[in-house]
A and B are shown apart, each in its own frame.
Chain A
Amino acid sequence: MSHITDLSFSELKKALNDRTLSSVEITSAFLDRIDALNPTLNAFITITRDEAMQAANDADTLISQGAGTPYTGLPIAHKDLFCTDGTLTTCGSKILSNFVAPYDAQVVSQCKNAGLVSLGKLNMDEFAMGSSNENSYYGPVKNPWDTTRVPGGSSGGSAAAVAANLTPLATATDTGGSIRQPAAFTGTSGLKPTYGRVSRFGMIAYASSLDQGGLIAQTAEDIAHGLGLIAGHDSRDSTSADQPVPDYTQTLNDSLKGKVIGIPKEFFDDRLDSAMRQAMNEVLDVLKSLGATTTEVSLEHVAEAIPAYYVIAPAEASSNLSRFDGVRFGYRADSPTDLMDLYERSRGEGFGSEVKRRILIGTYALSEGYYDAYYKKAQQIRRLIRDDFNRALGTCDLLFGPTTPSTAFVIGEKTADPVAMYLEDIYTVATNMAGLPGGSFQAPLINGLPTGYQLTGRAFGESMILNAAHQVQTVTDWHTLRPEGV
């Protein structure tokens, strides 16, 4: 048998259910690996060893009594923007570097209620703003495939931790690609559910109308298990959807025969890198071999998604981040002379440069005299994008494309050019604008580095995405490839 930490979430579940492994064995194996590798990878901001071992002990007791849930005792780790009662919750920011949350996010409670054992809190771009995890106050996360490269962002800690087998399952969030892009860069599976599928209560907001919690794991099957735990209506989140949660594992093995996969021509124009095109074609060949058919579709306004996103998201962020003012919690500047000084220095010293950049962009976009030209226009574009997607998905079951333009880039390569960094999300942002579910799954390596393909589904069509990705994973081994040397 392979080492415990090589096992996927589903495999660990089977081992626990069969009682071939205990939660204490599993948990301590992962904690030991975290201790060994985190100094190199910097995927975790906080490691909650004592709490995790206690929870694992409790889980084993429950299991021995035949109590608990089918998931009792399985490990997970949370992106550090999910509030965790009594544990540091930093959002990757200096301004929350002393913030111990007084409550659990809904996602965190759901995981606790299912019996999952939390290993700790995962590194991320500050306030989920970034595509490389270089914007964290706690330093960059390294890509386990090549530690000179970025793991993607903003859920870089989640992706790197799963890729390096530091946790079999990680929560993550996606506002413009922050689950899918790091999943693609690290050879993991990641799913951003439909907007409203997972409660945002306790998830520190970046851009409220786009933020959505999701998961990163080794396989689509793992995600199917995890999504069943965190999806569902929450009366504390007015935007959460009151829709039944299906058993996502039940449909994983449905046949793809007759399923129609739409290929947006805008994602395959001549700007697409030839190696990436080849990798995508390999995946498409597999999907076709499984019985799916493909058809070209057009997402006419998708090119406008990035500019519109960089109005809407910063606008919402500029308001969402106003509560970090040094008054009630978080970082406060030393000896402020008056109220303005307290505000200016607490925020000036507490926020990093990318966060400040987006607050400024958003403040500008909402200002009197500019609102109609920027914010309203961006919302109009957003509606057009949503219409494009809904039209395409009227005739297709899924849309297919690359997750990213290229493989993981080198740390520092794009930090001087914010716009180049923003273009990292060119294939992912539109899905958030449309509020639809999107997943990124392992495609063939390019030059030894992972790539991902993206599936976008209809609203609440997570089952279809996971079904297709699982079918591909049953006949390919791209998802089993692990970085060497870590």
Chain B
Amino acid sequence: MYEAVIGLEVHVQLSTDSKIFSGSSTHFGAEPNTQASLIDLGMPGVLPVPNAKAFEMAVKFGLAIDAEIGQESIFDRKNYFYPDLPKGYQISQFEKPIVGPGRVTISLDDGTTKTINVTRAHLEEDAGKSVHDAFDGMTGVDLNRAGTPLLEIVSEPELRSAKEAVAYLKVIHSIIRYLDISDGNMAEGSMRCDCNVSIRPKGSDTLGTRTEIKNVNSFRFVEKAINTEINRQIEILEDGGRVIQETRLYDPDKDETRSMRSKEEANDYRYFPDPDLLPVVLDDSFISACRDALPELPEARKARYINDYGITDYDAGVLVADRDVADYFADVANTSGEGKLAANWVMGSVLAELNQTGGAITDFAVTAKQLSDLIARIKDNTLNSKTAKTVFEALLASEGEVDAIIESKGLVQVTDTGAIEAIVDEVIAENPDQVANYRAAPEDKQGKMLGFFVGQVMKKSQGKANPQAVNQILSAKLSG
């Protein structure tokens, strides 16, 4: 009955070594105010000098989403007072952003895709942080973050559900990681999201009154915050009320949004071009150098993986979403020469483990080399799927290299037909009733019944018997 209309403003901290208008380090986690220069402190008389690296990163992002690049962009001042905003204004871009209209493609649950238009992306400086818990009854200000370059990416209100919003956010995340222009770490605030949400009766083409949920900092919270807000707005309309245009905050503990300030209280930011900075003029050679330096992007890599490794469209989509996972997979697939097995292992055991622990693949205990060694031992029949799992667990526990683990755990697969035959004979002798039933059954039923005998043989071999050999010998002996 209702349809949600959602647009996202995504703030991405660019991973430049120094700040956007000063030479201070942007490294996260330093002691408060140790990475704040005179310029970051907004001392009287200081002036901003732009960091060309930030332009390069913004242009790469623009090229990656097929956007118009503003050949002349202008820095403006956004004026408001706040203790963590040292100059009393934020240097941002208003009328002429560096990146103009572009687009990204998201995949929906039903297997279809949808194009989401990106309105613009502009450069600005981050503010500092107010610290409310360090001093009793007082607020501290940490300006280490002040002046960190941000790229604010604004989408058109074309998202129709929280799930679509998350899918869009993940695509943006994937692109910035591929471009290596940000670490995209939402927990540390390197990527933050403001969600503009309104609802309207399905089929209507007028927009409802929107609210803006500020600073949501995880994919999960984006989904929950939007759903919570949609439900809140539906309840208001169902009760005959009206939604007020306002800024809201999402509280993940209570799973609710609450009002921060209404439109009437909103600041008039008094934007005007910053007279301390010249217009940024990007010449064609700069833009084409950025284009030449673009890495392979997720869509292109997906196509290549399908082609090179013979994996499915779905598998390729999962594997390329994260650049580091994709690199890890390619490493395993190339070293082992087994694309499909590599895909199964990465998507199965590896991602399951990462999801469970929340760790990063770059710090993963099992190296790509180790996993490809493991796959090689499966391929040469040293391991079967059961013993391979045991080895993987041992690798996770850093118990050593693949062959050493196989050796020490005595996991070498038994492929010696003589040894298997002896066990098969034992099993047949121990289970005369089942053997009789098997032999009496019609051929199309026998396949299923064979499983019981295979299980018995594997048990007796402690899982080490080669399942193919077991099958072969069993069916021969049972039918003979």
Interface residues of A (CB under 8 A from B): 81-83, 89, 91, 96, 99, 101-103, 105, 200-205, 207-209, 235-239, 315-316, 318-319, 321-325, 327-330, 339, 343, 363, 366-368, 371, 375
Chain B residues lying within 8 Å of A102, measured Cβ to Cβ, are: 38, 43
Interface residues of B (CB under 8 A from A): 38, 41-50, 77, 79, 81, 83, 86-89, 141, 268, 270-272, 275-278
Given A316-B275, A328-B42, A366-B272, A323 and B47 touching (CB < 8 A)? no
> Are A239 and B278 neighbours in the complex by a CB distance under 8 Å?
yes
Q: Which of B43, B47, B88, B277 contacts A322 (CB 8 A)?
A: B88
Instruction: Give the CA-CA distance A463 to B278 in the complex, in Å.
Output: 26
Instruction: Give the CA-CA distance A235 to B49 in the complex, in Å.
Output: 8
> Are A101 and B272 neighbours in the complex by a CB distance under 8 Å?
no
> Are A204 and B275 neighbours in the complex by a CB distance under 8 Å?
no
Best-buried of B38, B47, B48, B89 by chain A (most CB within 10 Å): B47
> Are B81 and A83 neighbours in the complex by a CB distance under 8 Å?
no
Q: A202-B46, A239-B275, A328-B41 are in contact. List 20 more A-B contacts (CB 8 A).
A: A83-B44, A96-B44, A105-B45, A202-B45, A237-B49, A238-B49, A238-B277, A316-B272, A322-B81, A322-B87, A322-B89, A323-B42, A323-B87, A325-B88, A327-B83, A328-B42, A329-B44, A367-B268, A368-B268, A375-B272
Instruction: Give the CA-CA distance A99 to B38 in the complex, in Å.
Output: 14
Instruction: Give the CA-CA distance A319 to B79 in the complex, in Å.
Output: 7
Chain B residues lying within 8 Å of A204, measured Cβ to Cβ, are: 44-45
> Are A101 and B44 neighbours in the complex by a CB distance under 8 Å?
yes
> Are A325 and B81 neighbours in the complex by a CB distance under 8 Å?
yes
Given A83-B44, A322-B89, A371 and B83 touching (CB < 8 A)? no
Instruction: Give the CA-CA distance A200 to B276 in the complex, in Å.
Output: 9
Chain A residues lying within 8 Å of B46, measured Cβ to Cβ, are: 201-202
Instruction: List 16 A-B pairs, Cβ < 8 Å.
Output: A82-B45, A83-B43, A101-B45, A102-B43, A208-B275, A208-B276, A209-B275, A235-B49, A318-B270, A319-B88, A319-B270, A321-B88, A322-B79, A322-B88, A322-B89, A371-B271
The closest CB in chain B to the CB of A209 belongs to B275
Instruction: Give the CA-CA distance A343 to B81 in the complex, in Å.
Output: 9
Chain A residues lying within 8 Å of B44, measured Cβ to Cβ, are: 83, 89, 91, 96, 99, 101, 204, 323-324, 329-330
Instruction: Give the CA-CA distance A235 to B21 in the complex, in Å.
Output: 12
The closest CB in chain B to the CB of A339 belongs to B83
The closest CB in chain A to the CB of B75 belongs to A238
Chain B residues lying within 8 Å of A83, measured Cβ to Cβ, are: 43-45
Given A208-B276, A239-B278, A328 and B86 touching (CB < 8 A)? yes
Instruction: Give the CA-CA distance A280 to B86 in the complex, in Å.
Output: 48
Chain A residues lying within 8 Å of B271, measured Cβ to Cβ, are: 366, 371
The closest CB in chain A to the CB of B89 belongs to A319
Shortest CB-to-CB span from A166 to chain B, Å, is 24
> Are A238 and B278 neighbours in the complex by a CB distance under 8 Å?
yes
Shortest CB-to-CB span from B241 to chain A, Å, is 28
Given A322-B89, A328-B41, A201 and B268 touching (CB < 8 A)? no
Q: Is the interface of B mostly helix, strand, loop or mixed?
A: loop
| Shortest Cβ-Cβ A-B pairs, 3 listed | A322-B88, A209-B275, A366-B270
Shortest CB-to-CB span from B21 to chain A, Å, is 9
Q: Which of A96, A202, A203, A236 contacts B49 (CB 8 A)?
A: A236
The closest CB in chain B to the CB of A326 belongs to B83
> Are B43 and A238 neighbours in the complex by a CB distance under 8 Å?
no
> Are A238 and B88 neighbours in the complex by a CB distance under 8 Å?
no
Shortest CB-to-CB span from A343 to chain B, Å, is 6
Shortest CB-to-CB span from B127 to chain A, Å, is 13
Shortest CB-to-CB span from A420 to chain B, Å, is 28
Shortest CB-to-CB span from B265 to chain A, Å, is 13
The closest CB in chain A to the CB of B79 belongs to A319
Chain A residues lying within 8 Å of B79, measured Cβ to Cβ, are: 318-319, 322, 366
Chain A residues lying within 8 Å of B49, measured Cβ to Cβ, are: 235-238
Chain B residues lying within 8 Å of A322, measured Cβ to Cβ, are: 79, 81, 87-89
Chain B residues lying within 8 Å of A318, measured Cβ to Cβ, are: 79, 270
The closest CB in chain A to the CB of B85 belongs to A322
Chain B residues lying within 8 Å of A328, measured Cβ to Cβ, are: 41-43, 86
> Are A238 and B38 neighbours in the complex by a CB distance under 8 Å?
no
> Are B141 and A367 neighbours in the complex by a CB distance under 8 Å?
no
The closest CB in chain A to the CB of B267 belongs to A368
Chain B residues lying within 8 Å of A366, measured Cβ to Cβ, are: 79, 270-272
Chain B residues lying within 8 Å of A202, measured Cβ to Cβ, are: 45-46
Given A103-B38, A204-B44, A239 and B89 touching (CB < 8 A)? no
Instruction: Give the CA-CA distance A378 to B77 in the complex, in Å.
Output: 18
Shortest CB-to-CB span from A366 to chain B, Å, is 4
> Are A238 and B50 neighbours in the complex by a CB distance under 8 Å?
yes
> Are B47 and A200 neighbours in the complex by a CB distance under 8 Å?
yes
Instruction: Give the CA-CA distance A237 to B21 in the complex, in Å.
Output: 11
Instruction: Give the CA-CA distance A323 to B278 in the complex, in Å.
Output: 21
> Are A329 and B87 neighbours in the complex by a CB distance under 8 Å?
no
Shortest CB-to-CB span from A418 to chain B, Å, is 22
Q: Which of B86, B268, B270 contacts A323 (CB 8 A)?
A: B86
Shortest CB-to-CB span from B274 to chain A, Å, is 8
Chain B residues lying within 8 Å of A343, measured Cβ to Cβ, are: 81
Q: Which of B86, B89, B272, B275 contacts A371 (CB 8 A)?
A: B272
Chain B residues lying within 8 Å of A101, measured Cβ to Cβ, are: 43-45
Instruction: Give the CA-CA distance A201 to B43 in the complex, in Å.
Output: 11
Q: Which of B45, B50, B270, B277 contacts A201 (CB 8 A)?
A: B45
Chain A residues lying within 8 Å of B43, measured Cβ to Cβ, are: 83, 101-103, 328-329
Chain B residues lying within 8 Å of A375, measured Cβ to Cβ, are: 272
The closest CB in chain A to the CB of B268 belongs to A368
Chain A residues lying within 8 Å of B86, measured Cβ to Cβ, are: 323, 327-328
